[in-house]
Amino acid sequence: MTTPRTLFAMAGAPAHPSPLDRSALVLIDIQAEYTTGALPLAGVDAAVEEAARLLELARRRGVPVVHVAHHGEPGGLFDPKGPGSAFVPAVAPIDGEVVVTKGLPNSFAGTQLHDQLKAIGRPELIIAGFMTHMCVSATARAALDLGYRSTVVAAATATRDLPNPLGGVITAAELQRAELAALGDRYSVVVGNHRVWV
C-alpha cells in the first residue's frame, strides 16, 4: 500500500504556514458556552490557553485580529444576552480589533467578515477556535472558495463527542484528528501550535 498524500501535496501547493506579515488572525467562537456553558468541549482549557498565546503573538507582531462570536436564539444556546455568548476573558477583544457576529457555522455567511478582511488587505488567514468539526471547518472551507489561503492551528481548536449515526459514539479525539486531516487535504495548512511562527 502506498503512503497517502494530500491533494495539496499532489498539486505541489506550498506547505508552509501563512506568514504573519500576510495574514489576519481569525478567532472563531471562543465563548463561554464552550467552557462553562452547555457545550463543554474536550480539552477546551488547553485550547483556550493556546489561543491566548496565539493572540499575544499576533498582537506583538502587528497581525490584524478578527474575533467571531456566534449568537443564537434568545433563551437557547449562545443567547446574545446570556452568559454563554461572552468571549472567554483570556482572548477577549481589545480596542481596534474587529468583532463579527454570526448565526451560522460559516463565519462568512450573512456577516461582514469578507468585507472586513478585504479592508484589512491580508490575503491569508490564521484560524483558531471552536468547534473544529463545525465552525472552524465551515469557515476554512468557505475561505478557500473566497480566495484565501489559510492555516489552522490545531492546538487552538477543540470539539466534542458526537453520536455516530451508524451506531455508537465518535469521540472528540477521533473527530478532531479526522477533521484536521480533512482540512489538511485541500482546505488549509494545519500546524500544531503557535511555535511555528516563533
Half-sphere exposure for 169 (CA within 13 Å, toward CB): 6
d(CA 152, CA 189): 6
From the list 21, 45, 79, 102, the catalytic residue is 102
Distance CA 116, CA 102 (A): 14
Catalytically annotated residue among 135, 145, 161, 185: 135
Of the residues 21, 29, 45, 95, only one is catalytic, namely: 29
81 is catalytic: no
User: How far from 119 is each of 108, 122, 174, CA to CA, in Å?
Assistant: 15, 8, 38
DSSP 3-state percent helix, strand, coil across the chain (nearest 5): 40, 20, 40
Q: For 82, phi and psi rounded to 5 degrees?
A: -100, 170
Q: What angle do CA 84, 86, 92 make, to 5 degrees?
A: 145
Catalytic residue at 21?
no
Q: Is residue 79 annotated as a catalytic residue, yes or no?
A: no
- Residues serving a catalytic function are 29, 102, 135
